[in-house]
Amino acid sequence: MAEPKFHKADAKDLLDDRGYRGTLIRGQNPALLMEKGVRDRIIDSYYWKEQCFGLNAATLCDRAAELKFIGGTSGIMGKPTPFLCLAFKLLQLIPPKEVILEYLNFSGDEGYESDEDRPKEEPRNADDEPAARNGDGSRILDPNAEGKLGEFKYLRCLAAFYIRLAWEPVEIYTTLEPLLTDFRKIKRRTKNGFQLTYVDQFIDDLLTKDRICATSLWKLPSRANLEDLDMLEPRESPLQEEADRSDDDDGDIELLEREEMEMDRDSDAGAGSSEQGD
Amino acid sequence: MSSQKQGAYGGAKTGGDTHRKTWDREEYAQRAKDHDHKSKEESKARYEAALAGKKYHRRASTPPDVRATEARQARLDVASRVGTTVLVGASAATGKRGKGAGFYCEACDLTFKDHLSYVEHSNSIQHLRAIGQSTEVAVATLEDVRNRLLWLKRKRDEEQRDVVVDLDTRLERNRLTEEQEQEEKRRKRREKRKNKKKADDDNVMKYESDDDGVIR
């Protein structure tokens, strides 16, 4: 059967906890990925009723482009941020993977028309992009995801958050890890105030923490675990080369230190002998 | 009275029984056929539903000009009338029905007392039907999403083109706008004074003559 061409404007079907018949995520209703309390607050919030009604994957970009901060809930009443409301909307829409990748890596150049021109497909030159292939086998889903690709950084964060909630572990690691080289500043709403953070910091939180943006994230198998199961290749850090070099330097320093110490000892011994001579 | 005889229904001349309604036989035959076909389909669907152990519900007919529901283009306007006074008829609204004090929905002829119930109403199926929308939203394809993002980027770039980071230029610009505002204020004040003076002059009884009141 073809894809349905329409979906409901409201979230009635999603919130029907007995007769939900839509797409499942890991065998359950996607709405359950957020906790009951925060879910209710989202549905009661004015932003949800006014701005999230009747959105589809394209019009959601309008709202995401207007985002000014990420975050979970704020204030004593636990008012949900627009970021969280839009994430919940994404859980209702469940856009296909390519749409999410477009959110994540929209580059803003209008050059490509056809699919062949898209930079996403294959790296032009494997030597230029060393992280394009991780080791020999496993390919990172999107080599161009590195650096400052997502034109709208809050849209990028939103997509990353959704990926962490909805996708499979291997995909999560391969898709989100290239984003660890995105060092742009972002604003984060805390319970009472704002905090400065960075995109890579947020991604790292997504991969390592179990609770973020007022949502308890589902238990992601650790990277080491997946590597043991041969589902993931070991991650090569962009700083690896530098770390190796500094290791070498450290070795040199140690050598130097040892030589110096020996020289000192020799000189001390020389001094002692001279004293003895007196 | 006209000499020419006209039929009871105007236009056609009497002669024979042409005043009777003529029936388009083909059209009605087609209608009957359609009706038969529809009822046959329906009974089939009912039979299948019964086999599956379900109850058959006939789908309500969709108006032909129904549109897909779309996301709001702008914020709901809830604050524009703050501080204004509106006269409301004493018996204008009973309950929510009719136009009264509050947020009025034109399409449904309902009035709401707060913006939360108003926005809830504007999301309701009742309202969407009244403004001729289906309650469904078209699914966006990858192409739609990309075009949207490109459009957003162009829009943002255009907005940012006017933004000047240089402090001196911004100070200069602020000074100019301030001067303009001052000038505007001054002009208004002058006009007001002039109007007042004119009104005062009008109130004084005047005697006008052609030759300045000189008696010759």
Contacts of A50 in chain B (CB under 8 A): 72, 75-76, 119
Residue B128 lies in a domain: yes
Give dist(CA A48, CA A63) in Å, integer.
11
CB within 8 Å: A8 and B140: no
Show the tokens assigned to B19. 């005043």
Residue B115 lies in a domain: yes
DSSP classification of residue A109: -
Residue A190 φ then ψ, to 5°: -105, -175
Which residues, including other chains, have CB under 8 Å from residue A59's CB and lie 6 or more apart? B70, B71, B140, B148
CB within 8 Å: A7 and B150: no
Q: Do residues B120 and B149 share a domain?
A: no
Amino acid present at B188: K
Contacts of B134 in chain A (CB under 8 A): 6
Residue B13 lies in a domain: no
Residue A235's alpha-carbon distances to A114, A202, A232, in angstroms, are 32, 18, 8
Show the tokens assigned to A192. 């009472």
Average pLDDT over residues B161-175: 83
Residue B196 φ then ψ, to 5°: -65, -45
Residue B164 lies in a domain: yes
- Out of B120, B136, B140, name the one closest to residue A58 (CB): B140
Give dist(CA A238, CA A113) in Å, integer.
31
- Arithmetic mean of pLDDT over chain B: 82
Q: Do residues B193 and B156 share a domain?
A: yes
Q: Which of B49, B179, B149 is closest to A64 using CA atoms? A: B149
- Out of A6, A57, A58, name the one closest to residue B68 (CB): A6
If one counts the domains in chain B, the total is 3
* A53 Cβ under 8 Å from any chain B Cβ: yes
Residue B10 lies in a domain: no
| Signed CA dihedral, B13, B19, B24, B25: sign only | negative
- E strand or H helix at B33: helix B25-51
Query: Considering chain B, what percentage of its residues have pLDDT values greater than 70?
Result: 81
- Confidence category of residue A127, pLDDT binned at 50, 70, 90: very low
CB within 8 Å: B142 and A98: yes
pLDDT surpassing 60 at residue B12: no
Contacts of A47 in chain B (CB under 8 A): none
Average pLDDT over residues B74-95: 78
Give dist(CA A46, CA B117) in Å, integer.
10
Contact (Cβ atoms closer than 8 angstroms) between residue B132 and residue B65: yes
- Confidence category of residue A81, pLDDT binned at 50, 70, 90: very high
Pick the residue with more confidence: B142 or A274?
B142
Residue B163's alpha-carbon distances to A4, A54, A249, in angstroms, are 43, 33, 48
Contact (Cβ atoms closer than 8 angstroms) between residue A63 and residue A86: yes
Residue A271 φ then ψ, to 5°: -60, -45
Show the tokens assigned to B86. 């509106």
pLDDT surpassing 90 at residue A126: no
Provide the greatest CA pair distance for chain A.
104
Q: How far is A56 from chain B (nearest CA, A)?
A: 6
CB within 8 Å: A10 and B71: no
Taking residue B24's Cβ as centre, other Cβ atoms within 10 Å add up to 9
pLDDT surpassing 60 at residue A263: yes
Residue B185: the pLDDT is 94
CB within 8 Å: A9 and B135: yes
**What pLDDT, in 10s, does the model give residues A224-260?**
888 888 888 888 777 777 778 877 766 555 666 666 6
- Confidence category of residue B202, pLDDT binned at 50, 70, 90: confident
pLDDT surpassing 70 at residue B212: no
Give dist(CA B70, CA B199) in Å, integer.
54
Q: ipTM of the predicted structure?
A: 0.72
CB within 8 Å: B69 and A98: no
Residue B21 lies in a domain: no
Residue A76: the pLDDT is 86
At B211, is the secondary structure helix, strand, or coil?
Answer: coil
Contact (Cβ atoms closer than 8 angstroms) between residue A112 and residue A118: yes
Give dist(CA B59, CA B180) in Å, integer.
64
Show the tokens assigned to A168. 């499979």
Count how many Cα atoms sit within 13 Å of the Cα of residue B193 in the half-sphere of its side chain: 6
Contact (Cβ atoms closer than 8 angstroms) between residue B142 and residue B150: no
Q: Would you list the DSSP string of A138-195?
A: PBPS-GGGSSS--SSHHHHHHHHHHHHHHS-HHHHHHHHGGGGG---EEEEEETTEEE
Q: How far is B129 from chain A (nearest CA, A)?
A: 13
Q: How far is A75 from chain B (nearest CA, A)?
A: 20
Q: Do residues B149 and B169 share a domain?
A: yes
Lowest mean pLDDT among A59-63, A77-81, A107-111, A274-278: A274-278
- What is the chain B residue with the closest CA to A53? B71
- Across A133-142, B45-54, B86-95, B181-190, the highest mean pLDDT is recorded for B181-190
Show the tokens assigned to A218. 């589902």
Q: Would you list the DSSP string of B14-30?
A: PSTTTTSPPP-HHHHHH
**What pLDDT, in 10s, does the model give residues A154-166?**
999 999 999 999 9
Average pLDDT over residues B42-56: 88
Contact (Cβ atoms closer than 8 angstroms) between residue A170 and residue A232: yes
- What is the chain B residue with the closest CA to A44? B116
Contact (Cβ atoms closer than 8 angstroms) between residue B116 and residue A49: yes
DSSP classification of residue A90: H
- Confidence category of residue B35, pLDDT binned at 50, 70, 90: very high
pLDDT surpassing 50 at residue A278: no
- Out of B72, B138, B156, name the one closest to residue A50 (CB): B72
Residue B55 lies in a domain: yes
Query: Considering chain A, what percentage of its residues have pLDDT values greater than 70?
Result: 73
Average pLDDT over residues A127-134: 39
Residue A104: the pLDDT is 87
The domain of B119 spans: 66-71+91-138
Residue B113 lies in a domain: yes
pLDDT surpassing 60 at residue B3: no
Pick the residue with more confidence: B45 or B65?
B45
Calculate the dihedral angle through the C-alpha atoms of A103, A104, A110, A112, rounding to the nearest 10 degrees: -110
Residue spans of the domains in chain A: they are: 22-108+144-220, 221-253
Give dist(CA B72, CA B86) in Å, integer.
27
Average pLDDT over residues B193-204: 82
- Confidence category of residue B158, pLDDT binned at 50, 70, 90: confident
Identify the domain boundary among B138, B154, B175.
B138
Contacts of B126 in chain A (CB under 8 A): none
Q: How far is A189 from chain B (nearest CA, A)?
A: 22
